[in-house]
Amino acid sequence: MSRFNNSPRVNLRQLFWLRCLAIAGQLLTIASVQILLGVHLPLAAMLFVVALEALFNVSTFWRANQVRTESDVELFGQLFVDLGTLSALLFLSGGSTNPFVSLYLPALAIAAAVLPWTLALILAAFALGCYGLLEFESIPLNVREPANLFGYYRTGAWVNFVVSVGLIAWFVARMSRTLRARDAALASAQQQLLRDERVVALGAQAASIAHEMSTPLSTISLLAEELRIAANAGDDRGLAGYRDDLRILEQQISLCRSALARLQSRAALPDRQWLGRWLHGFAQQWRLRHPHVQFGLRCRVEFDHVRIEDTVAVGQTLTILLDNAAHVSRAWVSLTVDRLEDRLTLSVEDRGPGIPATLRAQLGKMPVASRQGGHGVGLYLAFVTAARLGGEIELDDAVPHGTRATLTLPLSIHAHETAQVE
């Protein structure tokens, strides 16, 4: 008879509203029987029982506002009072001959579903004991026209059957829906756990590789510096013509060191920066990584009060999307920043051949090998990182051709007193 949220159990607030309906139904039934059917009931005693039930319901409402989670013992006490109230009203109105005596069953069905079996058995024994007492002790109905008693009983039995069937069917349907929702949530949690395990494994591999790269990278940096010095000094080994190439090589080495530093910084607190200031620095750094790619940056709105809460994570995600775009489209890659209501969108477009529909459905869910030689690990990490930031990544076709990858993040707006650095 109760409503419940994410688990097949009731709570105090739901029992409060259910008991309100029960009190209204009891008063309506007493009035109908007394006025329309001419049955003389012990009104004072029955109204006293209903009044006590109402007072108990008021205390239930107060209690519901004091606790977040109800114990099984407390729910047991609530249902025990409901069964006791029903027994008292039945005692005053015919006992076991009252057609509403089968209302014990919906209450026991709820108890069996939401309580441990020991407590449910206690309630069942209590209901059986009350029913047994009603067989021998009760106040008989004082009917104005005894000849119509069987007709009254049939009418009451029909109403009781409809109410009981409706309550039990509704309760079972609610429980089935809740169990299905719980199973779906459990399956989703298991999938999330598998994704997290993959990410942890990839992160451990990345940390190991970064540790292994530090020594050869230092050696390469030292040799590049010696070659640049020799080229500037006019060494007779013919290195003067490679000055520009050596300068680019040193820039790339510097970028590798920055990437390793960012990997180490992931263990620290997230780096928070204002969007405009961070975005232009990020774009300049990415241009150094891909000097031969035509790159365009567009901001369609002003972001003077927008802050990036984790620039390292956002930067890594954007870098993956931009690197993938540059891999298939060196002629043109763009990054467009826009605002959509309370969301920040960063769209990366390319003019490549596009992503096949069959492959697009798998990207981001697991590493997937592509025809261009990639394995989808970077894009998989980008999807996971976006989800951790509360956002998402969508892949669709660009116009006239190519791919558009849109990173959507929650918009974080803060007061910013200083002017944005252009």
Using a CB cutoff of 8 Å and minimum separation of 24, what contacts does 354-360 make?
A: 354/397, 354/398, 354/401, 354/402, 354/403, 355/395, 355/403, 360/395
Look at residue 415 in the predicted model and tell me its pLDDT: 42
User: If you average pLDDT over residues 400-407, what whole number do you get?
Assistant: 90
pLDDT higher than threshold 70 for residue 409: yes
Share of the chain above pLDDT 70, in %: 74
Across the beta sheet with 343-350, the strand order is 295-299, 333-340, 343-350, 403-410, 392-397
Look at residue 419 in the predicted model and tell me its pLDDT: 35
pLDDT higher than threshold 90 for residue 50: yes
- The structure tokens listed for 30 are 């007493």
Look at residue 138 in the predicted model and tell me its pLDDT: 86
| Count of beta carbons in the 10 Å neighbourhood of residue 52 | 14
Look at residue 421 in the predicted model and tell me its pLDDT: 33
| Confidence bin at 105 (pLDDT 50/70/90) | confident
Q: What are phi and psi of 106, to 5 degrees?
A: -60, -40
- 301 vs 236, which has greater pLDDT? 301
Pairing of strands 307-308, 273-274: antiparallel
pLDDT higher than threshold 60 for residue 123: yes
pLDDT higher than threshold 50 for residue 3: no
- 263 vs 336, which has greater pLDDT? 336
For the stretch 180-211, pLDDT in tens is 777 777 777 777 776 666 666 666 556 556 65
pLDDT higher than threshold 70 for residue 215: no
- 153 vs 351, which has greater pLDDT? 351
User: If you average pLDDT over residues 163-174, what whole number do you get?
Assistant: 72
Tokens 């990182």 found at? 385
Look at residue 257 in the predicted model and tell me its pLDDT: 72
Does residue 368 contact residue 318 with C-beta atoms inside 8 Å?
A: no
Look at residue 4 in the predicted model and tell me its pLDDT: 37
Please state whether the predicted TM-score (pTM) of the whole model is above 0.85.
no
User: If you average pLDDT over residues 243-267, what whole number do you get?
Assistant: 69
| Confidence bin at 406 (pLDDT 50/70/90) | very high
Does residue 257 contact residue 213 with C-beta atoms inside 8 Å?
A: no
SS3 237: coil
Tokens 């049955």 found at? 39
Where is 274: in which H helix or E strand?
strand 273-274
Q: Measure the CA–CA gap between 299 and 187, rounded to whole angstroms.
A: 40
User: If you average pLDDT over residues 211-218, what whole number do you get?
Assistant: 62
pLDDT higher than threshold 80 for residue 358: no
Whole-number average pLDDT of the chain: 77
For the stretch 54-95, pLDDT in tens is 999 999 888 888 766 678 888 899 999 999 999 999 999 888
Range ranked top by mean pLDDT from 81-95, 131-145, 195-209, 262-276: 81-95
